[in-house]
């Protein structure tokens, strides 16, 4: 099954998807989402349909106008690209003109190079985020505004599961995402994912 997917940021007429919807006669489905790119692909109305086609094993070909249609961040794009490539699903991006699998059924080397560059950028992005976080903590410490967790206190399972990050992690776990993908999307460490999963299991057992 061949699907063309597009996304525009709003449905109020300020953005028009027509420039993305060209030469589409050969597709089984043409799906367009009208939402923010900050929403992960599989959580969008039409993106969730793509996820269902993937899970059903019926999606063979996904085409997009530009690479950022797959996600707002480099990490999101890489996660989707890697997932579909492993499943043998062809992704064709029109702008820039790249695809993950060539006509011979092999990983396209030029596109692999492009994604390697994106991967390097993603790693750099993570370092920058971490550095900014540490700088912010240092500034707050200098102003006596940051003290970290009080000595002798620990997060109870209830308190841990009430955190927004924990809720997101549990949502992705429930959707069947593997830990390494969740760690990229949230982002967090795999040990954090395991800790949150065990906390939920502990509360469920008590209930």
Could you read off the pLDDT of 47-56 as tens digits, one per residue? 999 999 999 9
Residue 94 confidence (pLDDT): 86
Residue 84 confidence (pLDDT): 93
Residue 119 confidence (pLDDT): 62
Sheet holding 2-8, edge to edge: 29-34, 2-8, 61-66, 90-95, 98-99
2-111 folds as Rossmann fold (3.40.50)
Q: How do the domains of the chain map onto residue ranges?
A: 2-111, 155-207
Could you read off the pLDDT of 72-109 as tens digits, one per residue? 777 788 889 889 999 999 999 888 888 999 888 888 88
Residue 131 confidence (pLDDT): 75
Q: Name the stretches of the chain with pLDDT < 50.
A: 12-14
């Amino acid at each position: 099954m061949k699907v063309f997917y597009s996304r525009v940021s709003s449905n109020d007429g300020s953005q028009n998807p027509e420039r993305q919807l060209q030469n589409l006669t050969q597709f089984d489905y043409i799906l367009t989402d009208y939402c923010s790119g900050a929403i992960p692909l599989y959580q969008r109305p039409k993106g969730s349909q793509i996820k269902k086609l993937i899970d059903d094993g019926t999606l063979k070909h996904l085409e997009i106008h530009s690479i950022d249609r797959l996600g707002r961040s480099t990490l999101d794009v890489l996660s989707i690209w890697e997932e579909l490539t492993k499943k043998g699903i062809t992704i064709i991006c029109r702008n820039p003109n790249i695809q993950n699998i060539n006509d011979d059924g092999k990983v396209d080397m030029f596109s692999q190079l492009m994604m390697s560059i994106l991967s390097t950028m993603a790693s750099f992005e993570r370092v920058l985020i971490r550095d900014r976080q540490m700088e912010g903590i240092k500034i707050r410490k200098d102003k006596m505004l940051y003290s970290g967790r009080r000595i002798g206190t620990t997060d109870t399972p209830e308190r841990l599961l009430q955190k927004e990050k924990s809720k997101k992690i549990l949502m992705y776990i429930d959707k069947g995402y593997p830990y390494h993908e969740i760690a990229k999307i949230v982002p967090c460490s795999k040990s954090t994912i395991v800790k949150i999963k065990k906390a939920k299991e502990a509360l469920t057992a008590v209930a």
